Amino acid sequence: MQAPAHPLRLDADGTLAVVQDEAVVRQSLAQLAGTRGVGPRDSTGELPWAPEYGASLDVLRFGPLGGLLAELVSARVVGQAQEHEPRARITSVKSASNPADNSVSLELTFGSPSTARDSVVVQR
């Protein structure tokens, strides 16, 4: 499986860069985490053609840092991945709040078709 690289860029030979296999799934999960979908503060979502696409993590930005926030981030990303990225087949999730740098980290283990691991850090 392959897809255009995100952000779009050119290879050294001047052709459109592509990513393959687990990199495609990683890229898609990062896009899901960084996109604002329909939510309580936004009835349209960021993408007019797919308003329900996106974890809407921006609405959690000012929540109190702690275990509950880490679980909310985890639930939103995993829920969106299950709905919009079936290739990921998530097998485990670890989330943690990081008071030292005011962030939440999320580690996903997924199979696509082999096992891969990816981390998302949400800075507040």
The per-residue pLDDT for 79 is 93
With contact defined as beta carbons under 8 Å apart, do 2 and 24 qualify? yes
Using alpha carbons, select from 57, 50, 17 the residue that is nearest to residue 34: 57
- Asked if residue 57 has pLDDT above 80, the reply is yes
Using alpha carbons, select from 99, 98, 119, 100 the residue that is nearest to residue 109: 119
- Asked if residue 19 has pLDDT above 70, the reply is no
Instruction: Provide the domain limits for residue 12.
Output: 2-123
- Asked if residue 60 has pLDDT above 60, the reply is yes
Q: Any idea what the CATH number is for the domain that residue 50 is in? A: 3.10.450.40
The per-residue pLDDT for 3 is 65
* Count of domains for the chain: 1
Tens digits of residue pLDDT in 68-120: 999 999 999 999 999 988 878 888 899 999 888 888 888 888 875 556 666 66
